[in-house]
Structure 1
Amino acid sequence: MEQFLVDLGDHTDQTTKQMLQNLINKRIKYNRYKNLHFLMLTTAFVFGLFVFYFFYRTTIETSTNSILDTFSIFIKKNHFLTLFFVAFTLFGSVKVIFEKKEKYEKEYHALRCEIIDKSKDLWKDDKWKQRHRVFEQMKNKYDINLYHQSK
């Protein structure tokens, strides 16, 4: 559990601390997949441009204006097939990572909204006056806004 959650003491009960810890974990996973998606998308795009440029320079510029000549050169040289396979695999992995990123974003947002909706039940009586400390720390340390439900 995060140190600032342990340091809250009696201002927040154990269930609320566990919910906040789960929210932090989901935010970290979402950020990880978001960064991984950006990295993979950039890599796939650059690699795709490289493969296209390499294919264009070696096949299309050197062959005559016949599509069959271009296709026969493409089939004869196995490295073209390998490069195109790697490029399609990269773009496929970008799609898979994007779906995981979307899944974790939905889970994170749902849990965040649940905490916001139940905040009156989680912080009762005199604890309600201390909840702003938790909200500020969550906002400052993890960029998690617990004041409003909008993204």
Structure 2
Amino acid sequence: MDSPIQLLENTDQATKQALENVRKRKEKFDRFKHRHILSIWATIILAASFLTYLYITVASIYSYSFAAMFSAFVNDSNNLTLLVFCVGMYGTMNLLKEKKDKAEKEYHELRREIVDRSKDYWKKEEEWKNRHLVFELMKKLYDINLYHENK
């Protein structure tokens, strides 16, 4: 368990475990979000490179005839290889988007559950009065907003 969460006072072990779980889900969501952004840029760069390569090797030379351009495209095996890489990167980008969306959904569901069940987590009067310290810690260290259900 992460040490700042473990060192919380006026918080029982079950609450600490719930806070640790939401921290892990946020970390997982951030990791997939970063990977998805990288895959978007890799796809854009690869597609731009492929189109530039096509323009230089096919379009500019054989621009007088579509049939000649198509024939030149099919005859060069590098075109098929680059096309497969572009389609593969696009598929990877979509796969990472789905994983990012799933991780985001899990994170927000758990975060909302903590907000909904805050009366159960901080039952005693003293714990209830000091729960804002826990919320501030989670917001400051992990950028997790437990004050409201909505983002």
Q: TM-score, normalised by structure 2?
A: 0.96
- In the TM superposition, 1:1-151 aligns within 5 A as 1-9=1-9, 11-125=10-124, 126-151=126-151
Unaligned runs of 5+ in 2: none
CA distance in 2, matches of 1:109, 1:80: 43
Tell me the amino acid that sits aligned with residue 98 of structure 1.
Answer: K
Q: TM-score, normalised by structure 1?
A: 0.96
Give the SS at the match of 1:35: helix
Report the alpha carbon displacement of residue 114 of structure 1 after superposing the two structures with TM.
0.3
Between 62-71 and 15-24, report the one with greater CA deviation.
62-71
CA distance in 1, matches of 2:33, 2:114: 23
CA distance in 1, matches of 2:40, 2:21: 28
Tell me the amino acid that sits aligned with residue 97 of structure 1.
Answer: L
Report the alpha carbon displacement of residue 15 of structure 1 after superposing the two structures with TM.
0.9
CA distance in 2, matches of 1:89, 1:4: 42
Aligned length: 150
CA distance in 2, matches of 1:65, 1:109: 56
Report the alpha carbon displacement of residue 64 of structure 1 after superposing the two structures with TM.
4.1
Tell me the amino acid that sits aligned with residue 70 of structure 1.
Answer: M
Tell me the amino acid that sits aligned with residue 93 of structure 1.
Answer: T
Report the alpha carbon displacement of residue 115 of structure 1 after superposing the two structures with TM.
0.2
CA distance in 2, matches of 1:7, 1:64: 70
Report the alpha carbon displacement of residue 65 of structure 1 after superposing the two structures with TM.
2.4
Between 136-145 and 63-72, report the one with greater CA deviation.
63-72
CA distance in 2, matches of 1:123, 1:65: 76
CA distance in 1, matches of 2:5, 2:96: 31
